[in-house]
Structures are given as structure tokens and as C-alpha cells.
Amino acid sequence: MRDKAWEQSLYEHQHAMIKRLDIHRQKERSTSLSQDEVMAVEHTFQLLVASMLDLAIYVLQHHYDVSIERRDQVLDALIKHQDVTFEQGEQIKVLVELRQKILFDYLDENFDELASALSLRRYGLVEILTKEWTARLDNNE
């Protein structure tokens, strides 16, 4: 059974995270960030991508009756059900790979890659997909 309150709450949370990332992206490039600011941007990015994957799992379950147990299975399932375009799939792959680097290679400096992804505003795809997926669920009712 769908939980529209959760869907709305997730969308609002994603929107707030995107606004935070936009603020960072629009900052003067010559302004260096403190370690706390870097960690906050990385954490916001990680949460945003995780929320996209969790929503995709939710949509796959409620729209296609497909059970996905792990986030690393999401992209393949979305492609199999033609739920994303090729370009969207490639963008999701980049976002997920970057999230994985930040999450598991936390001793390495990955902020330059993240800053590059932020400058391209790749994370904006999350909001687009959220709207598309919830609309698909609405049409399924």
C-alpha cells in the first residue's frame, strides 16, 4: 500500500537537500571550505542519492510488484522495466558511483570529483525522477 505522506515528506526532504547543494555550488570558487563544510556537503549528497535509490525501490515494489533488497540492484531493475532513459541511467550510475566512493573511500580525498559533479548539477536528476515516479504511481491507481 502506498504511503503518500512518506512520498511527500521524501520529496520535501530531497528539495531541501538540493537547495543546500545549490547554495554550495553557487558559492565563489575562490572561497575555500572548512573540513566541516566539506563533510556537510558530502553527507547531503550521500543522503540525496540514497533517498533516490530508496524511492526507486519503493516505486519498483508498488508499480511493478518487484522486490529489490539492495540499493546496488536498483539501476538494473529500473533499466529492465524501462523506467529510466539511457541518459538517466548513465547519470544515476555516475551519482551512485560517486556516492560509493565518498561512503567507502572516506580516507581518500574525493571532494574534487564531488565538486565537479555539483558544478554540473547532476544531482538535479533526483528531483526530476521523484516527480516522474510519483506521477507514475498516481496513474497506476
Q: What is the pLDDT of residues 50-106, one digit of tens each?
A: 999 999 999 999 989 999 989 999 999 999 999 899 999 999 999 999 898 888 876
Pure H helices in the chain: 4-26, 35-64, 74-80, 86-104, 111-119, 124-140
User: What are the sequence ranges of the domains in the chain?
Assistant: 34-140
pLDDT at 109 over 90: no
Contacts for 86-90: CB closer than 8 Å, 24+ residues apart: 88/125, 88/129
Provide the CA 51 distance to its chain's centre, in angstroms.
6
Cα–Cα distance, 25 to 29 (Å, whole number): 9
How far CA 141 is from CA of 10, 54, 138, in Å, comes to 20, 21, 6
First to last CA, the chain: 11
Mean pLDDT, to the nearest integer, of 20-44? Answer: 83
**Which comes out higher in pLDDT, residue 26 or 109?**
26
* 3-class DSSP assignment, residue 1: coil
**Residue 130 corresponds to which amino acid?**
T
Q: What is the DSSP letter of 32?
A: P
Q: What is the pLDDT of residue 28?
A: 64
